[in-house]
A = this chain, B = another copy of it.
Amino acid sequence: MLNPGSLSLYLCTDRKLLFGRPLPEAVEAAIAGGVTMVQLREKDAPAREFFDIAREVLALTRSRGVPLIINDRLDIALAAGADGVHLGQSDLPCFEARRIAGKDFIIGISAHTPEGALSAQRAGADYIGSGAVFPTGSKADVGAVIGIEGIRAVADAVKIPVVGIGGINPGNAASVIAAGAAGVAVISAILSQPDIRAAALALKSCAG
């Protein structure tokens, strides 16, 4: 079950940005700095490795009271006992995921237009991830830049909360919230920084 407050500072992981720093330590530092939700993204790991990482990170997020969402792989989310799954437009349909996972499982859907967001809401999504709000180099699959007006249009279209993603940093996070987003999702603005906790704190003070 999603507590909308969990969306305020949403971290998507990318081990490639960590330059060898262990993922659990990075997640721990990010949560210490105020991250309220974590999405584990492993585009290249075999399923077993993804599952093992999910269990390790879940032990940590659960001890801190922060929900853990798995990118794409509903089966790994269910097997690991994670709190939810995040599905993109080329992933499993939301309706089918909801049918398998039940009503208490968190399902987030990527949608970049009001129509896509409404469709996800009808299919049972708990929240929308929408972007790219600003130009970004981190996440190849986030799509074209929709801008602050794009986020506002998506947030106005649906009743479920919307998280902005793409190019968000301490200098522009407040504008995303002001446009109606329930929170901001970041990758490199936290994980690429030398001090992960401080980077999360800086965002938290703008977006939280």
Contacts and interface: CB of A to CB of B under 8 A. Distances in A.
Interface of A: 46-49, 51, 72-76, 78-80, 89-93, 96-97, 99-100
B91 A79 contact: no
A70 to B, nearest CB: 10
Contacts of A73: 75
A25 to B, nearest CB: 25
Contacts of A46: 90-91
Give the dominant DSSP class at A's interface: helix
A99 B80 CA distance: 11
Q: Which A-B residue pairs are the 6 nearest by beta carbons? A: A46-B90, A79-B96, A75-B75, A74-B75, A47-B91, A48-B90
Nearest to A49: B90
A48 B79 contact: no
A115 to B, nearest CB: 17
A83 to B, nearest CB: 16
A193 B118 CA distance: 47
Contacts of A79: 74, 92-93, 96-97, 99-100
B93 A48 contact: yes
Contacts of A92: 47-48, 51, 75-76, 79
B51 A90 contact: no
A28 B73 CA distance: 30
9 contacts: A47-B91, A48-B89, A48-B92, A51-B96, A74-B75, A75-B75, A78-B100, A79-B96, A79-B97
A49 B48 CA distance: 22
